[in-house]
């Protein structure tokens, strides 16, 4: 059953919100930090925070987005390998997703405004093709065979990534390329009498009817999305916990937020954007979604390794998304702040128990983000406005948990604290800036370094303008007007814009001289030469930060050590992957930074429960984002993602 109709809480929220004046929310000059930068990182933050301008007359932000994408690719992407070598499989899939989504924003913007003068479409198209060529290269660099044997969430990141590629190709080829083609060969596309020959221009005719070369990759992207969705389908299980996706089939059953959110978002995007798949090889495993083949035809091949064709808009995709959403929202996985905890184990599994009753209360930013694109898609596919309402509530809970007042459009705490002491922690951040719990201590692995970028990517999609709010022929809830729902949705998203801009400004201020973003954004506002507040944060038995500390061998997560031992960083090279201090950083523990690095066993990170200690350093600590793993492709993608979000929100 679909969620019930009604937008009472959203309407009330908007009534209160719109009673406040937004007259002060004017564009401001962007902070710049990078090459030739003399930004004062100790300068006090203005009391009122204004959104970043996205107007063509002040295109600094667009330039920063492109510059940050270029840095990400120039510094971290290897063309001959077709990947980001320092990434692991699932983070590489996210890198491709964020790059492609950002490329779509750049493409749309360049098409809608004049940049570069006469003939500039050639320059713009060259830049678009450069990035898109790297996206295509990453298809071949992706460890597709290896990912088939990994956890279901790893597979679903792949599904989302190539569906993102299809969305980009569809939009770019339909809008910008058509415009560029008209500029090249004339509005009509054909010159009827070139040079007075009396003959039609065959070359012009060919050019006028040519599609953008990127469209040739749609079947390829669609096939990989379909293959990994089919394999992931096996993760849905109704014997345990009355439904839900299992995270990793090689560990004790764990039904977590991220795998189920990915299942929802991937399934609904398969329903909306998957164009069908007629490729029967390479070998794959088919779910019953397409088991009868396209248009219900029986499988004709005797090779069970070949896939049958599959149509677009397969009802199984929509049904899977709806079932996944219903299970997740009834799973009692949310905490007292209205945020998703990580997931459930079954306490009496060995005794035959089937109830999900052992909750890991750890909270991560990405667990609050992936569902957002799913809610948008579910509304578009069904017309059930309650999907939007429930996800708006989730967004507001996230913003409140960073210490931000939406109505006043400013942090709830005074962040100009004498001496640079850290503002209070609110659950997902402080000073209005989104944080992981591992940020301030620099303990984050590649997992944690990727999470904030994921959140802002899906928030951007959630709030992107609707062109066709509800699919033609879909049932619309009684008493709702799609146009009114979409306008309320837009107004609610506008209220988030100051917070998004605030985070983008913080992220910009963590860039180093090479334009690389740091992991921990809050110091951008507080100043790098800071003294951190001492506070004891003892870990609770109710939550385990396995994304940072690794999976414990405690009989709950796994009965025996998983060979090779699973670690947040992945791999089994025997080489330590967690460097507490950057070898190029002249700041070491003797200079005042304290920390507890996870134990290493033959280079592999193993679980240790420790008391977390925030740090205090003497004068002259230096750049806090050089600690831990330092600046990486994952932190760079996070910066690109939040800048793109600020750009898109400012256009609402």
Complete DSSP assignment for 8-55: HHHHHHHHHHHTS--TT---BPPP--STT----TTSPPPSS--PBP--
Q: How far is the C-alpha of 515 from the C-alpha of 522, rounded, in Å?
A: 17
3-state helix, strand, coil split of the chain in percent (to 5) is 45, 5, 50
Counting beta carbons within 10 angstroms of the beta carbon of residue 442, is it exposed (0 to 12), middle (13 to 18) or buried (19 or more)? Answer: buried
Helix/strand/coil for 64 = helix
pLDDT at residue 153, rounded to an integer: 97
User: Could you give the maximum distance between any two Cα atoms of the chain, in Å?
Assistant: 89
Q: How far is the C-alpha of 189 from the C-alpha of 106, rounded, in Å?
A: 26
Residue with tokens 């060995």: 350
- Structure tokens of 240? 């345990």
- Please report which helix (H) or strand (E) contains residue 75, including its range: helix 60-76
Contact 483, 496 (CB under 8 A): no
Contact 136, 79 (CB under 8 A): no
Q: How far is the C-alpha of 97 from the C-alpha of 315, rounded, in Å?
A: 25
Bridge partners of 215, per DSSP, are: none
Q: How far is the C-alpha of 270 from the C-alpha of 275, rounded, in Å?
A: 8
Q: How far is the C-alpha of 389 from the C-alpha of 7, rounded, in Å?
A: 6
Residue 362's φ and ψ, nearest 5 degrees, are -60, 140
Q: How far is the C-alpha of 596 from the C-alpha of 254, rounded, in Å?
A: 28
For the stretch 286-326, pLDDT in tens is: 555 564 443 334 344 445 567 788 999 999 999 999 999 99
- Structure tokens of 364? 């991560």
For the stretch 122-148, pLDDT in tens is: 888 899 999 999 999 999 999 999 999
429-430/612-613 β-pairing: unpaired
pLDDT averaged over 10-residue windows placed end to end, the chain, 652 residues: 49 51 31 35 36 50 96 98 97 99 93 64 88 98 95 98 98 75 48 54 76 93 96 96 95 95 99 94 58 41 67 96 98 97 92 92 97 97 95 98 97 76 91 95 93 99 87 62 91 98 96 96 75 44 52 52 45 31 30 31 32 42 87 98 97 93
- Structure tokens of 507? 């992220």
Residues 6+ apart with CB under 8 A from 465: 490, 652
Residue 273's φ and ψ, nearest 5 degrees, are -120, -15
Contact 281, 220 (CB under 8 A): no
Closest CA to 441 of 581, 294, 565: 581
Find the DSSP H helices in 78-119: 89-112
Length of the chain: 652
Q: Which domains does the chain have, with CATH numbers?
A: 1-58+408-652 (no CATH), 77-191+203-293+305-362 (1.50.10)
Distances (CA, A) of 648 to 428, 431, 566, 643: 23, 23, 38, 9
Contact 287, 336 (CB under 8 A): no
Q: Give the DSSP letter of residue 110.
A: H
Q: How far is the C-alpha of 567 from the C-alpha of 550, rounded, in Å?
A: 5
Q: CA triplet 452, 456, 458: central angle to 5 degrees? A: 120
Contact 462, 376 (CB under 8 A): yes
Give the other-Cβ count within 10 Å of 44's Cβ: 10
404-405/433-434 β-pairing: unpaired
* pTM of the shown model: 0.80
Contact 365, 342 (CB under 8 A): no
């Amino acid at each position: 059953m679909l969620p019930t109709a009604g937008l009472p809480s959203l309407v009330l929220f908007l009534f209160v919100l719109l009673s406040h004046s937004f007259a002060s929310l004017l564009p401001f000059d962007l902070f710049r930090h990078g090459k030739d930068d003399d930004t004062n990182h100790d300068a006090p933050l203005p009391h009122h925070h204004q959104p970043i301008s996205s107007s063509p007359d002040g295109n600094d932000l667009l330039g920063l987005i492109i510059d940050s994408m270029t840095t990400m690719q120039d510094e971290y992407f290897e063309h001959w390998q077709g990947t980001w070598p320092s990434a692991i499989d699932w983070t590489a899939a996210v890198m491709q997703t964020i790059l492609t989504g950002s490329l779509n924003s750049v493409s749309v913007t360049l098409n809608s405004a004049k940049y570069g003068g006469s003939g500039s479409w050639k320059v713009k198209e060259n830049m678009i093709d450069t990035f898109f060529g790297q996206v295509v290269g990453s298809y071949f660099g992706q460890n597709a065979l290896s990912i088939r044997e990994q956890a279901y969430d790893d597979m679903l990141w792949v599904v989302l990534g190539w569906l993102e590629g299809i969305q980009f190709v569809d939009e770019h080829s339909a809008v910008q390329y058509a415009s560029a083609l008209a500029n090249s060969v004339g509005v009509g596309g054909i010159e009827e009498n070139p040079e007075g020959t009396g003959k039609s221009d065959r070359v012009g005719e060919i050019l006028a009817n040519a599609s953008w070369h990127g469209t040739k990759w749609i079947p390829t992207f669609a096939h990989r999305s379909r293959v990994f969705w089919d394999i992931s389908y096996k993760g849905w299980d109704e014997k345990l916990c009355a439904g839900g996706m299992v995270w990793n089939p090689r560990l004790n059953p764990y039904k977590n937020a991220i795998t189920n959110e990915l299942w929802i978002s991937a399934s609904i995007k398969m329903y909306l954007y998957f164009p069908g798949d007629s490729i029967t090889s390479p070998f794959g495993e088919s779910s019953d979604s397409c088991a009868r083949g396209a248009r219900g035809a029986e499988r004709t091949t005797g090779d069970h390794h070949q896939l049958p064709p599959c149509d677009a808009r397969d009802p199984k995709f929509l049904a899977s998304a709806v079932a996944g959403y219903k299970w997740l929202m009834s799973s009692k996985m949310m905490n007292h702040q209205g945020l998703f905890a990580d997931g459930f184990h079954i306490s009496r599994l060995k005794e035959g128990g089937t109830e999900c009753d052992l909750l890991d209360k750890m909270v991560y930013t990405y667990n609050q983000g992936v569902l957002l694109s799913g809610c948008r898609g579910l509304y578009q596919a069904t017309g059930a406005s309650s999907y939007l309402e429930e996800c708006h509530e989730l967004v507001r809970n996230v913003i409140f948990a960073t210490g931000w007042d939406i109505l006043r459009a400013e942090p709830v705490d005074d962040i100009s604290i004498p001496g640079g002491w850290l503002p209070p922690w609110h659950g997902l951040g402080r000073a209005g800036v989104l944080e992981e719990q591992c940020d301030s201590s620099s303990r984050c692995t590649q997992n944690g370094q990727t999470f904030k970028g994921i959140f802002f990517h899906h928030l951007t999609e959630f709030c992107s303008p609707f062109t066709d709010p509800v699919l033609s022929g879909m049932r619309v809830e009684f008493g709702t007007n799609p146009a009114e729902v979409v306008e309320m949705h837009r107004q609610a998203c506008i209220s988030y814009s100051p917070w998004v801009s605030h985070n983008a400004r913080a992220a910009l201020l963590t860039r180093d001289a090479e334009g690389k973003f740091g992991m921990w954004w809050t110091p951008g506002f507080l100043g790098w030469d800071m003294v951190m507040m001492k506070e004891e944060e003892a870990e609770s038995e109710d939550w385990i930060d396995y994304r940072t500390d690794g999976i414990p061998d405690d009989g709950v997560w796994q009965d025996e050590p998983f060979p090779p031992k699973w670690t947040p960083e992945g791999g089994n090279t025997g080489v330590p992957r967690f460097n507490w201090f950057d070898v190029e950083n002249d700041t070491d523990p003797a200079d005042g930074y304290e920390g507890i690095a996870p134990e290493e066993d033959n280079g592999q990170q193993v679980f240790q429960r420790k008391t977390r200690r925030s740090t205090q350093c003497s004068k002259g600590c230096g750049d806090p984002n050089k600690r831990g793993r330092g600046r990486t492709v994952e932190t760079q993608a996070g910066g690109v993602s939040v800048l793109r979000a600020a750009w898109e929100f400012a256009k609402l």
